[in-house]
Amino acid sequence: MISRALPLYVTIAIFLVAYAICYAQFPAMLSTRVIGNLLTDNAYLGIVAVGMTIVILSGGIDLSVGSVIAFSGVFIAVLLRDTGLHPIVVFALLLAVTTTFGALMGGFIHLLGMPPFIVTLAGMFLARGAAYMLTIDSVPIRHAFYDAIQSSYYLMPGKGRLTLIGVLMLLSVAAGMLLAHRTRFGASVFALGGGEATARLMGVEVGRTTVLIYAFSGFMAGLSGIVFSIYTGSGYPLATVGTELTAIAAVVIGGTLLTGGSGYVFGTLVGVLTMGLVQTYIVFDGSLSSWWTKIVIGILLLVFIVLQKLLLRLTQARLAPLGAAA
């Protein structure tokens, strides 16, 4: 239905109009250097937002992801400092931990019938506390493997750098699109977002699906933590405070309904890039406070929430005559 895709179209239109305005004022905004930086600077956010999209499509929420990213950076930094393990081994251990952590939250949500907000809020404090238990200081990461990754990039025409973490974000979005829109699991996620009772009638294994949804979110948060550690070259327990809210904002601005059951992973990518574009414009302008980023994101978020409410009422108005006829 066109109404379902309308938020996505609006998101794309806003991004294109905003980019045109930026280009009109600062022609360098269209350079490959800016585009490359836009992807690199928002890589960790784009990756965790893919996991958040799946969660919100199911009608849930995950408030733990910001803390999991911080824990991931500290986990990597401490293990590389105190052990002789190769970073790839540390990455594998980390992803196993964060995926299990997400699966456990999904299990609590289903088995105890607890709201995702409460369970993931507890997860947020647990992950942040675990990071503090490992260290209270910023731990630099010094390893030849990290140096190699940080110096790996494709030089685009115009001397813009397409970095490895920027490519990883794009690959994560592509994988998320396939998972959400082309697999049985994705269909189960959308069905669950339409209501648990309806999902059961459609043959969805609600418990298994819920566990897998939050396990996937935990995996993506861990992957985002790896990317963030590469981006910053350190681990810090106070890092990424509030990132969970930024990720939710990106998903909503990308056109996914907060109530679940409708949305597009590609829209989340556009939402992330729109937020990054606002930050880039402020840097180019030089006279605006960084707080304008929060203000613009807040306005966009409000606009999309109102749009979602209008679409919901329009859908209900269309369905009402059918219900009366039945």
Can you give the CATH number for the domain in which 124 is found? 1.10.3470
Structural domain contains residue 306? yes
Confidence (pLDDT) at 319: 54
Structural domain contains residue 115? yes
* Per-residue pLDDT at 269 exceeds 90: yes
Give the mean model confidence (pLDDT) for residues 304-313. 75
Total domain count, the chain? 1
Structural domain contains residue 141? yes
* Per-residue pLDDT at 233 exceeds 70: yes
Confidence (pLDDT) at 5: 78
Read off the pLDDT band of 128 (50, 70, 90): very high
Structural domain contains residue 197? yes
**Spatial separation of the C-alpha atoms in residues 88 and 85, rounded to whole Å:** 8
Structural domain contains residue 321? no
* Per-residue pLDDT at 220 exceeds 90: yes
Is the pTM value of this prediction over 0.95?
no
Return the higher-pLDDT residue of 321 and 119.
119
Structural domain contains residue 214? yes
CB contact at 8 A, 50 and 227: no
CB contact at 8 A, 3 and 319: no
Read off the pLDDT band of 1 (50, 70, 90): very low
Give the mean model confidence (pLDDT) for residues 81-110. 96
Query: What is the span of the domain harbouring residue 98?
Result: 2-314
Give the mean model confidence (pLDDT) for residues 94-111. 97
* Per-residue pLDDT at 150 exceeds 50: yes
Structural domain contains residue 319? no
* Per-residue pLDDT at 24 exceeds 70: yes
Structural domain contains residue 216? yes
